[in-house]
Structure 1
Amino acid sequence: MQRKVNRLIRLATSFVILGLVPLLAAGTALTGHFRSNMERVVLDDIGRMVSYGGSNTEAVLEECSSLTKHIYDVSTDDGMFLYQILKSPGLGREERKMEITLLLSDFLDRDSRLRSVYFKDRKGQIYYATRNAYKVLDEDAFRYWTGKEDEKGDFSVLPAHMDDYFQDSGSQVITFRRSYQDITSLKTIGSCLGHFYMDMDVSRLQSALSDIDLGFGASFYIMDDSGACIYRVDTDGSGNTADSMASLLPSMNQETGSLLGDGTYVVYKRLEPYGWTVAVQAAQDRVLVMESTIRYTAVFLGAVFLAFLCLYSYFPERIHRP
């Protein structure tokens, strides 16, 4: 009996000295190293996601901004440009409406992802062309949706939304607006004749962001300066205020950066001059989950080492026993 007790004591001592102490020392060192570096690893990974998403979003914006400028290039079959139609004293109201509608229809053919295009002159008259010729525009609803945008300079973008200013329409679109200048001569440049709008199908932005991998339980946002959600990858939050992010916008005052608050990491990139911010938000407890994994691994390794010591102590004795 005493022999078994002594063997058990030797076994426990060997485990503590040769196994548990080195394991605890290594685990403590690794955990400390992990704590000091995990935040940087997470932020770097999220930063790459933000950079990729921001670059792709900016490419879409530049493409659509460039497309709106082509309204100056479109002309009717008899060679009249939009500014000439608007200023022609010989055109009656209905004839002018028909000419502008035909011109807008030609513009619509420039990109298959365009859903509708519109022009609103200085008197508030709205002209439009859409993929479905049977759709009728609710002009009051359209004016309400776009009214404040006319005060935002030469170019602006509205959040993703349903084009419900058409009855029974279910298309989700992003509206791009550009003021239309009088280019009759150098003297008239700077005089605004109205505003041009185009509804781009949201799939254009979705396709640009389809490769984003939302690890860490993260959320990907595109917001404007008012906090409205232009687009969100993981849920249908487009058009609503991004409440969890809007309060952080004043702190996002650099071109790129990161924030830590309320238990979350936020990495962002501002897209100037569009007034958009691309941001990824991830829960800080991701680190705690990884720490738990390390603890479970340490316990498992300790158990394996203990089993190894038991076998090492038992079998030699069995083999050499007379």
Structure 2
Amino acid sequence: MLNLFQFGRLRKSIFAKFAFSFIIVGLIPLLVLSFFSLNTYGNYMERYSINNFEQMVLYAGKNADDLYTKYNNISKMMYSYGQYANNGQFGRVIAEQVSQKDNRLTATVDEFLQTVVASDVHIRSAAFVFTEGGYQDLNRDGSRIDFRFQYPPVEWKRTMTENSKELVLFPTHPQEYYPHSGMTVMTFSRNLIDVIGSPGLDGKVVGSLFFDVSLSAFDEIFQHLTTDQKDVMYVTDQEGRILYSNKINLIGQLFQPSDSEVYHYVKHDMPNSNWSVIGEVNKNELFNKINGIKRTIAIVIGLCILSLVVVAVWFSNNLSIPIRQIIRNMTRVESGDFNMQVQVRTSDEIGMLARGFNRMTDRLKSFIDEVYVAQIKQKQAELTALKSQIRPHYLYNTLEVIRMSAVANDDDEVADMILSLSQQLKYVLNYGEEHVTLLEEKTNIEQYFRLMKLRYGDHRLALDLRIDSELLNCILPKLSIQPLVENAIYHGIMPKSGKGTIRITGEIERGLFMLTVDDDGVGMTEGKLQMLRDKLAGNVPPDQEVGGIGIKNVHDRITALYGPEFGIRVNSTPYIGTSIQMILPYKKEVKSV
């Protein structure tokens, strides 16, 4: 019954009405718009990705076909190579020099091979094979074909015989006929026919040109394509053998498309070379990017929905919480608690209502304070003032009676101690300003040190005050030096044997008042010094603090009064002594005329 009752109250509240209306008005249009946007965007991106991949394959195929055309034209340079030394066409010159065993043959072929190698940066080597079996070669790195290797191989010769008038491509293979080459190349070859000595292309073959092309020629084409690492590109010949692929281990194998529906293939046939460029893309990987973007959009939409709900709840709370708070406070005012105040957060009608309620409680409270509470507080203040005057006066008179009794008994030392104590108590119990002059602090320290010398003797303690007279009117917190002197006596000088000296110096540096208390006592180890510095910095929990309470109290007072850049700095060396420096702003007492 209670839950049903609470639900009924919530349903009738302003909060529920505003929140429900806000969510319904904003949420439904956002959900509908998000659904249609995601579907439309996803379909568009899938079509765009497939078309983009097909365009890349088409671009690569065109460039590969141009590459084949370029090497085909280089192989035909044998027929267009200039009228060699005015002796006619290159093939004719080769045929005549071979038949005449001309000594110029080597230079003629070598010059031509240099031209071939220099015509393209991807041509690694070139060789011209004569019909009787001899050959000349030129490698870009200066090496020569291993004489132990049968060059060209038998199958190459057979292929060249079968295709005597065409450009022949020998698929990708290791360049093993060059010692220590370690390269993988394709070899293009064309027969040289003496077209002058015989009509047409029916002349005799006077030699064959072979030149090796590195796979970097294909790398230059495919490295500009923005494909995923898992996408595979193939260049195959007319038999389906892979001439090039970005998966090196597949080069030289027959291309076998996958039966899986996961892969999408795009093929482009090249008319000039009878090559084909095939692109293999993993549809899951391709669409994963799209799905990732869709997930990101969905997350953004979800965050927008969440933000909408949060804003609705926040907006409703901003309206209903102040009203409920005013109702609760009104109930407490009815019971007699007139200290209730409503926090005013806005300047709208709700804020005006809260301010009116606060003014009402203030007026009621002031009426009651005027006739009753003010009289009680006045009586309590008078009693407190009387007690504050009676207690120090009684203490001073009592100490004076004890001191006079010691004088009457000729106990001057006790009398001096009581006099010093009396003056110190008068200084301590004087409820005046928080700040005093250095002169007043100096007088108090002298009285305190007089007590310590009477207690321990002149043979144990000495005080050296090095304070210029113009610094005596500097302002500092009351009772800030005595704890430092007390710490130096008990922790520095008393643990050591022999006499110890405490030196107090003051100076002005860069607009700061620096007061230093040095002792030549036992000093502190590095561990104790670091623990004390951590305590001053507030890095030690209160329940773990041991010792150094007086110094920390002085430090905390200074930082509270002037800021964190002021306070206590401590340095100490074992068996040499400790130096405590108090850093204060330089302020002087202004004397009234």
Q: Which residue of 2 aligns with 1:25?
A: 32
- SS of the aligned residue for 2:273 comes to coil
CA distances 1:28-69 after superposition (whole Å, capped 9, x unpaired):
323432443333201221123223323332332222221111
Going by fraction, where is helix more abundant, 1 or 2? 2
In structure 2, what is the Cα distance between the partners aligned to 1:131 and 1:25? Answer: 67
Q: Offset of 1:154 from its aligned partner?
A: 0.6
Alignment partner, residue 183 of structure 2:
171
The one of 241, 246, 251 equivalent to 2:253 is 241
Q: Shift in Å at residue 115 of structure 1?
A: 1.8
- Secondary structure of the residue aligned to 1:55 is helix
Q: Which amino acid aligns with 1:301?
A: C
1:116-127 aligned at under 5 Å gives the runs 116-122=125-131, 124-127=133-136
Give the 3 Å change call, closer, same or farther, for CA 126–220 of structure 1 in structure 2: same
Superposed counterparts of 1:199-210, under 5 Å: 199-210=212-223
Cross-structure match for 1:304: 307
Residue 277 of structure 1: aligned partner: 276
- 1:66 correspondence with 2:78: no
Distance 1:16 1:230, change over 3 A: farther
Residue type of the alignment partner of 2:100 = L
The structure 2 residue matched to 1:105, chosen from 113, 116, 125, is 113
SS in 2 for 1:140: coil
Query: Letter of the aligned partner of 1:202 in structure 2?
Result: L
Q: Is the 8 Å Cα contact of residues 74 and 107 (structure 1) preserved in structure 2?
A: no
Distance 1:230-1:109 versus aligned 2 partners, 3 A rule = closer
Q: For CA contacts below 8 A with separation 6 or more, give which structure has more relative contact order.
A: 1
CA distance in 2, matches of 1:216, 1:136: 37
Shift of 1:169: 0.8
Kindly tell me the number of residue pairs found equivalent between the two proteins: 307
Of 134, 143, 149 in structure 1, the residue corresponding to residue 153 of structure 2 is 143
Map of 2:266 onto structure 1:
267
Pair 1:55-2:54 in alignment: no
Asked if 2 retains the 8 angstrom alpha-carbon contact of 1:228 and 1:240, the reply is yes
- Report deviation, 1:6: 5.8
Deviation at 1:214, TM superposition (A): 1.5
- Distance of 1:89 and 1:208 partners within structure 2: 41
Aligned 8 A contact 1:160 1:238 in 2 = no
In 2, the alpha carbon distance for the partners of 1:172 and 1:65 equals 20
- Per the alignment, residue 129 of structure 1 pairs with 138
Residue 293 to residue 36, structure 1, CA distance change in 2 (3 Å): closer
Q: Secondary structure at the match of 1:107?
A: helix
Which 5+ residue runs of structure 2 have no aligned equivalent? 1-5, 322-345, 354-593
Amino acid at match of 1:207: E
> What value does the CA root-mean-square deviation take over the aligned residues?
3.7
The 1-side partners of 2:190 and 2:265 are apart by 32
State the Cα distance separating 1:166 from its structure 2 match: 1.2
| Mapped pair 1:183 → 2:186 | no
Deviates more, 1:65-74 or 1:201-210: 201-210
In the alignment, residue 118 of structure 1 is paired with which amino acid?
Answer: A
- Equivalent of 1:230 in 243, 260, 276: 243
Deviation at 1:219, TM superposition (A): 2.5
Tell me the equivalent position of 2:124: 115
1:294 matched residue in structure 2: 294
Task: Please list the CA deviations of residues 212-248 of structure 1 after superposition, one character each: whole Å capped at 9, or x if unmatched.
Answer: 222484233222222322223x4434633264xx338
Which residue number corresponds to residue 316 of structure 1?
A: 319
Residues 131 and 87 of structure 1: is their aligned pair in 2 closer, same or farther, counting only changes over 3 Å? same
CA distance in 1, matches of 2:12, 2:238: 74
The structure that has the greater radius of gyration is 2
Within the alignment, does 1:154 sit opposite 2:162 as a pair?
A: no
What amino acid is aligned across from residue 290 of structure 1 in structure 2?
I
Q: CA deviation at 1:123?
A: 5.3
Contact 2:91-2:194 at 8 Å conserved across structures? no
Asked if structure 1 preserves the Cα contact closer than 8 Å seen for 2:262 and 2:282, the reply is yes
Q: Distance in 2 between matches of 1:294 and 1:269?
A: 32
Q: Where in structure 1 are there 5+ consecutive unaligned residues?
A: 249-259
